[in-house]
Amino acid sequence: MNLQGAHILLGVTGGIAAYKAADLCSKLVQAGAQVQVVMTPGAAHFIAPLTFQTLTAHPVSVDTFQLLRDTDMAHISLSAWAHILVIVPATANTIAKLAHGLADNLLTSTALACPAPLIIAPAMDADMWAHPATQQNIATLHSRGAIQVGPAQGRLASGRVGAGRLASNAEIIAAIRQALGRTGKLAGKRVLVTAGGTREPLDPVRHISNRSSGKMGYAMAEAARDFGAQVTLVSASTGLAPVYGIQMVSVQTAQEMYAAVLQRVAETDLLVMAAAVADYRPKGAAAQKIKKADDDLTLELERTPDILMAVAQRRQETHHPAFVVGFAAETENLLANAASKLASKHLDLIVANDVSSSDSGFDVDQNRVILLRPDGAQEPLPLLQKTEVAERILERIAEWWR
């Protein structure tokens, strides 16, 4: 994950949500980031600097004029050190100061001197957030490239319900990952990923599907985002939450996935088909719920369109996508079956996974895959978390593509 070793400067301002910044700080440190914290004097009323100092193992700066251990000017050295400046929570007051270039405390002066991307996670009362002054200040920050995460709708400290809650730490971390990856190996590329198992209706209440959880495809989409790509994820039903920073397209059936993919391939540089697409669907779904009878029931199935085959045909005319990746889910003859799909579907890479083992493949967090290329090259990867499998696959794609 690109948080490993990243220099994250966390600015904390004076709002009740300041305590949530401690959990964010802890999660970033656990993910391998180097975190330094600057607090406004107001933030120090809500949460002690010692909390952040303990979590980061770095001194926490609050006062612009405090005597430092060395002769560095804190606002200059911190701003030069940061790969990214993240302000969580960002109060209306700090947002206003940032918009107008005020530098009246260590955080605002550091922000003014900081060339790194700026992420702000506003949190305040709903009326303060809705006020035209705040909205204008936010618009000013956007126009300078600041990234805004949240605020979310929900219960506020006042007891009222509205927009003003701090975004979740998961969302803030995703925004940090995306911003850190903006110049990554897939920067400027448009990536289309499919995920999940399609559902083929039998009647209004039943369908045929498979055990795909969507985890592998979602991991591919997240990793592509963190490599700097602009990502669209065509997702069949999964239990997974939408992914931050990715355009989500929901589909149910193989036919819908076919339409969603084919509609977008001309504007796609890299297609990754991680979805488990049904090969067959019930011929003519019943309009009403099928009634139980004493006799056995025979279902007639018909073929679904093969999406990768259709992409291969389209590609001959448009030369898009430039790189096409399929996955092969096999329970026997893994390599031979995967190699035959690689050739018949005209792929640049097939990711073969043996889905007969219980620790990899469908509906688990890890996968054990072998990468197969048209020139016969094979690269087995060990059993890894799907997030890491996705990163390894994209690393290799970026190399081959170059």
Output the six-digit token pair for 334.
């893994």
Rounded CA-CA distance 174/223 in Å is: 11
Asked whether position 213 contacts ligand PMT by CB under 6 A, the answer is yes
One of 89, 281, 361, 393 touching ligand PMT (CB under 6 A): 361
As a whole number of angstroms, the distance between CA 53 and CA 35 comes to 10
Residue 363 in the binding site for ligand PMT (CB under 6 A):
yes
Instruction: With beta carbons less than 8 A apart as the criterion, state whether 79 and 114 touch.
Output: yes
Between 157 and 343, name the residue whose CB sits nearer to ligand PMT.
343
We find the least distance from the C-beta atom of residue 100 to ligand PMT, in angstroms, to be 48
Given 210, 333, 353, 367, the catalytic residue: 210
Number of H helices, E strands in the chain: 14, 21
| In the complex, least distance from residue 286 CB atom to ligand PMT, rounded to whole angstroms | 22
Binders of ligand PMT in range 13-72 (CB under 6 A): none
Question: Of residues 314-333, which lie at the interface with ligand PMT (CB under 6 A)?
Answer: 326-329
Residue 282 CB coordination number (10 Å): 19
The separation between the first and the last C-alpha atoms of the chain, rounded to the nearest angstrom, is 22
d(CA 11, CA 176) in angstroms, rounded, equals: 13
Q: Examine residue 106 and tell whether it contacts ligand PMT (CB under 6 A).
A: no
216 to 275, contacts with ligand PMT by CB under 6 A? 216-217, 254, 273-275
Is there binding between residue 117 and ligand PMT (CB under 6 A)?
no
- The count of chain residues that interact with ligand PMT, using the rule CB under 6 A, is 27
Minimum distance from CB of 202 to ligand PMT (Å)? Answer: 18
- Cα–Cα distances in angstroms (integers) from residue 257 to residues 112, 192, 200, 205, 358, in the given order: 46, 12, 11, 20, 28
Measured from the CB atom, the residue of 92 and 234 that comes closer to ligand PMT is 234
Nearest distance from residue 313's CB to ligand PMT, in Å? 12
From CA 21, how far away is CA 89, in angstroms rounded? 7
Q: Is 210 a catalytic residue?
A: yes
Beta carbons of 245 and 206 less than 8 angstroms apart:
no
* Residues classed as catalytic: 210
User: Which residues form the interface with ligand PMT (CB under 6 A)?
Assistant: 212-217, 254, 273-277, 279, 304, 306-308, 326-329, 341, 353, 355, 361-363
